[in-house]
Structure 1
């Protein structure tokens, strides 16, 4: 896979309404590329747009990107697309893949090895949405850019 240059793919705030970037991802190499794209996007948001991004938001964005792109690679054939944008004090991570099945969070089980990614994503998300697309599905997660108290008992649905 040719690694995308996320700095080139995003537009200016005036062109797009808010900072955003889109990256096409293919295979296992796409997971590391997605994390690099998230880092570049958040760096650009700070330096070019003066957006405050807490270290917690940065770390959680990398975590969510890793989990969503890993799941897309693991459970759906073909490429995946990742969109990042700033929206109302949040960073929105959206991952599309060609798999038609919506993910289902499993009941918490401390004895289960693996398959905790969606549980983790939903626990840290300010908003979570999984929706079918004409082809495949899109998972959208919103994370606050600033540290704030969060009710970890239930993610809020987007919409």
Structure 2
């Protein structure tokens, strides 16, 4: 976990930036590694910084990380970068991959088998955005740290 004191968007002045990053290189353990990192990050945030992090936030963050990393692994060649950061009362999950094609949420269809990951992420996130980068794209979801 990295911390710093540089002012960041969404971070109160004087409050350290609480974040962690990992590059996932494409082996079969990437998705499990990403989920484990997300849980460990939020547990450390709770223990080391005394922030209120609900079990719901831990579970939903793990789900969002799993869905976004799975999609990146499935559709983009090369490494995947996962960034987790605390922004006020939310955790931001950002996943970068090398494919510049932005994902498109499909209309809900109970009869469709699979391809519901983006729908799930958008349903549980407070905020969601997909942005092209100079190389590839970054998908960002923000989740509340405490239960509503």
TM-score (ref. length: structure 1): 0.84
Q: Secondary structure at the match of 1:52?
A: coil
Distance 2:6 2:133 in 1: 26
Aligned equivalent of 2:2: 11
Per-residue deviation, residues 91-138 of structure 1 (Å, max 9, x unmatched): 000000001100000011100000000000000010000000000000
Aligned equivalent of 1:116: 116
Structure 1 residue 12 displacement after superposition: 3.1
Please show how residues 1-159 of structure 1 align to structure 2 within 5 Å. Answer: 10-12=1-3, 14=5, 17-27=16-26, 28-148=28-148
Q: Which runs of 5+ in 2 are unaligned?
A: 8-15
Once superposed, which parts of structure 1, at least 4 consecutive aligned residues long, lie more than 4 Å away?
A: 13-16
TM-score (ref. length: structure 2): 0.90
Q: Which runs of 5+ in 1 are unaligned?
A: 1-9, 149-159
Q: Secondary structure at the match of 1:47?
A: helix
Q: Secondary structure at the match of 2:2?
A: coil
Per-residue deviation, residues 66-113 of structure 1 (Å, max 9, x unmatched): 000000000000100000000010000000000110000001110000
